[in-house]
Amino acid sequence: MAAVTELSFLLFALINNIHAQEQIIIQEEGDYYSFYLPENTNSCLISRSVGEEKLVLWNTSDLWSNSSSVPEHLKLRLYSTVKTSSYTIRYLTHSDSGPYREECWTEGNVMHENNFTITVCTSIYESYGGDISARLGETVDLPCWGAADNLDAQCLKQDSRYEQETWSRVFGDNTTSVMDNVRGRYQVVTNTSALRVSNVTATDFTDYRCLVMNQQQCVSSNTVELRQQSEIIYRSVGETAVLPCTIADSTDEQPPRWFNRFSTDLGQLNQTVPSVDQNYLLVFSSLMLNHSGRYYCEASMREQHYYLYVCPKFGPPAVELFSEGEEVTLRCRDWREDREHYWFIKSNRTEGRIFSVESNQRMSRVSRYNNGSLVISNISVGDAGEYWCAVIGQYDDAYNDYQCVSTERTELVYTRGHQPF
Domain positions in the chain: 2-121, 122-228, 231-311, 318-414
Please write the tens of the pLDDT for every residue from 289-313: 888 888 988 887 778 888 888 888 8
Q: Quick one: pLDDT at residue 352?
A: 57
Coil, strand, or helix at residue 69?
Answer: coil
pLDDT band at 400 (very low <50, low <70, confident <90, very high): very low
User: What single string gives the DSSP state of each residue in 141-173?
Assistant: EE---S--TTSEEEEEEE-TT-SS--EEESBSS
Which burial class, exposed, middle or buried, applies to 170 when counting CB atoms under 10 A from its CB (0-12, 13-18, 19+)?
Answer: buried
Average pLDDT over residues 356-369: 66
In CATH terms, 231-311 corresponds, of 3.30.1050.10, 2.170.190.11, 3.40.50.150, 2.60.40.10, to 2.60.40.10
Q: Quick one: pLDDT at residue 217?
A: 92
DSSP state of 348: G
Q: Quick one: pLDDT at residue 82?
A: 62
Q: Quick one: pLDDT at residue 92?
A: 96
What is the CATH number assigned to the segment(s) 122-228? 2.60.40.10
Q: Quick one: pLDDT at residue 404?
A: 83
Q: Quick one: pLDDT at residue 8?
A: 34
Please, what CATH class does the domain formed by 2-121 belong to? mainly beta
Q: Which pTM does this prediction carry?
A: 0.68
The answer to which of 55-69, 248-262, 353-367 has the lowest mean pLDDT is 353-367
Instruction: Give yes or no for residue 234 having a pLDDT over 90.
Output: no
pLDDT band at 46 (very low <50, low <70, confident <90, very high): very high
400 — alpha (psi -120 to 50), left (phi > 0) or beta?
A: alpha
Q: Quick one: pLDDT at residue 160?
A: 59
Please write the tens of the pLDDT for every residue from 264-289: 445 444 445 678 877 888 999 889 88
Contact 349, 362 (CB under 8 A): no
The answer to which of 100-104, 213-217, 337-341 has the lowest mean pLDDT is 337-341
Instruction: Give yes or no for residue 16 having a pLDDT over 60.
Output: no
Domain 318-414, second-level architecture: Sandwich (2.60)
Average pLDDT over residues 329-348: 78
